[in-house]
Amino acid sequence: MLEIKFVRQNLPAVQKALAARGAVVDIETFKNADARRREVLLEIEELRHRRNVVSDRIAEMKKAGENAQKLVEEMREVSGKVKMLDRTLAENEDIINNIILEIPNLPHASVPGGRDETDNPVLKQEGSLPQFDFDPLPHWTLGKNLGILDFERAAKIAGARFPLYFGAGARLERALINFMLEVHTGGHGYTEVLPPFAVNRQSMTNTGQLPKFEEDLFKLEGWEYFLIPTAEVPVTNIHQDEILDENQLPIYYTACTPCFRSEAGSYGKDTRGLIRQHQFNKVELVKFVLPESSYAELESLLSNAENILKRLQLPYQVVTLCTGDLGFSAAKTYDIEVWMPAQGVYREISSCSNFEGFQARRANIRFRRKGKKGTELVHTLNGSGLAVGRTVAAILENCQQSDGSVRLPEALRPYMGNMERIEP
């Protein structure tokens, strides 16, 4: 959410920035409702002031034993008027709120212009692509051959786009989770968190999933709860409505949670394998930082996520999302894309974003500077460190051998009981 005052004072700039994203906002309605709101507010405050003054007078008169009936009647009228105006005020505030909640964040000045993902510039490429003297198999075939992935049975249990792992596959997923969490809580300095996997409407609104993207979420029938699409939601909301001390910042959290996504609108896309599932595990990194350091924190967040791929020796590239591909709440985002040899493409495995004050304003997360009056919004950031299912897919494809086995990255072996390879 942008600040109302800011939108009011910078309408042209806001419109221009939103056009770069391809977002359309009803600025006219906003302007009218905003003007009307302030007009009504002024009137209400004047009436209330009068009522406050006269009410005190009535109290005095009553104490002195005087008759205040005339004033009482007059104030009865004033109160009725206030009540009516209150309704008008609320109506206009609703209009403003509905619009402002649907305005995406403004892209940071360093974000490259562009229309969609094809315009995302590659920032760097790391690791060397594996060379095969055979045709590398897609991970779903490898998984089936190895007896560790079973999408047919998963479909029986739940439906399409649900995972079912067996044996070394299930263990690989668990090993990756432990490996990632150990790396982040160790050298990277994150505190591990295990949050709720369902959240309320307010939390979803705070991080920006609602009100615009409700169709992407799983909602529990008969409950005002949503399954989380990412740990970003519960973890960012840990500090909602809090005023933090400057010296508490920065705060780093990491959490592994299942993520649930309806994937509405992606029918027919990535229908095979672990790439696009209704349920997947993800290790998430979340930061609460001082505004002046948030872009440096974005760089270190990115390198924390990259570190996992480096230690797993998986080749990847980093792209900067262009204005047209930027997510709703983000001011700047880097995507890390891992090499998938069977398809010969890089696939997103992590997304690292700086939201600046956008989520903090919605979630009301502020801090106080030492010796200074007032509060400021913290800046929030998050990134995947990493999506676990896709990491499994990447390991299977990149580390496959001609005999159909998969040679495990060395960093992972301690978490797999020193297993060196997964064999049929």
Partner RNA sequence: GGAGAGGUGGCCGAGCGGCUGAAGGCCCUGCUCUCGAAAAGCAGUAUCCUGUCAAAAACGGGAUCGUGGGUUCGAAUCCCACCCUCUCCGCCA
Residues that bind RNA (CB under 7 A): 4-5, 38, 41-42, 44-46, 48-49, 51-56, 58-59, 62, 72, 75-76, 78-79, 83, 90, 243, 366, 368, 370-371, 373-375
Question: Does the annotation count 329 as an active-site position?
Answer: no
CA separation for the pair 74, 76 (Å, rounded): 5
Give 44 or 256: the residue with its C-beta nearer to RNA.
Answer: 44
Least Å distance, CB 180 to RNA, is 27
Cα dihedral 268→274→280→282 (10° resolution): -120
Q: Give the active site residue among 37, 161, 261, 362.
A: 261
Least Å distance, CB 163 to RNA, is 23
Among 4, 6, 9, 206, which Cα is nearest to 93's?
A: 4
Question: Does the annotation count 348 as an active-site position?
Answer: yes
Q: Give the active site residue among 3, 348, 376, 423.
A: 348
CA separation for the pair 335, 321 (Å, rounded): 7
Ramachandran area for residue 22 (φ above 0: left; ψ -120 to 50: alpha; else beta): left
Least Å distance, CB 60 to RNA, is 8
Least Å distance, CB 309 to RNA, is 37
Give 72 or 411: the residue with its C-beta nearer to RNA.
Answer: 72
Alpha helices in 158-249, H assignment, sequence order: 167-185, 201-207, 232-236
Q: Give the active site residue among 174, 276, 311, 413.
A: 276
Give 124 or 370: the residue with its C-beta nearer to RNA.
Answer: 370
**Both structure tokens of 311:** 């230690």
CA separation for the pair 232, 265 (Å, rounded): 22
Give 30 or 415: the residue with its C-beta nearer to RNA.
Answer: 30
Distances (CA, A) of 254 to 251, 288, 366: 10, 12, 20
The residue assigned the tokens 């004047």 is: 46
Least Å distance, CB 96 to RNA, is 10
Residues 381/334, Cβ–Cβ less than 8 Å:
no
Least Å distance, CB 87 to RNA, is 9
Question: Does the annotation count 8 as an active-site position?
Answer: no
Give 56 or 117: the residue with its C-beta nearer to RNA.
Answer: 56
Backbone angles phi, psi at 100, to 5 degrees: -65, -30
CA separation for the pair 211, 192 (Å, rounded): 29
Bridge partner residues of 97 (DSSP): none
Among 33, 144, 199, 180, which Cα is nearest to 404's?
A: 144
Least Å distance, CB 49 to RNA, is 4
Backbone angles phi, psi at 320, to 5 degrees: -95, 125
Question: Does the annotation count 261 as an active-site position?
Answer: yes
Question: Does the annotation count 410 as an active-site position?
Answer: no
Alpha helices in 101-200, H assignment, sequence order: 139-146, 151-157, 167-185
Chain center to CA of 147: 35
Distances (CA, A) of 355 to 112, 332, 379: 16, 7, 7
Least Å distance, CB 65 to RNA, is 12
Q: Give the active site residue among 21, 37, 366, 390.
A: 390
Alpha helices in 162-273, H assignment, sequence order: 167-185, 201-207, 232-236
Q: Give the active site residue among 203, 300, 350, 351.
A: 351
Give 5 or 124: the residue with its C-beta nearer to RNA.
Answer: 5
Give 89 or 176: the residue with its C-beta nearer to RNA.
Answer: 89
Give 58 or 312: the residue with its C-beta nearer to RNA.
Answer: 58
CA separation for the pair 391, 354 (Å, rounded): 23
**Both structure tokens of 97:** 């709120």
Q: Looking at the annotation, which residues are catalytic?
A: 261, 276, 348, 351, 390
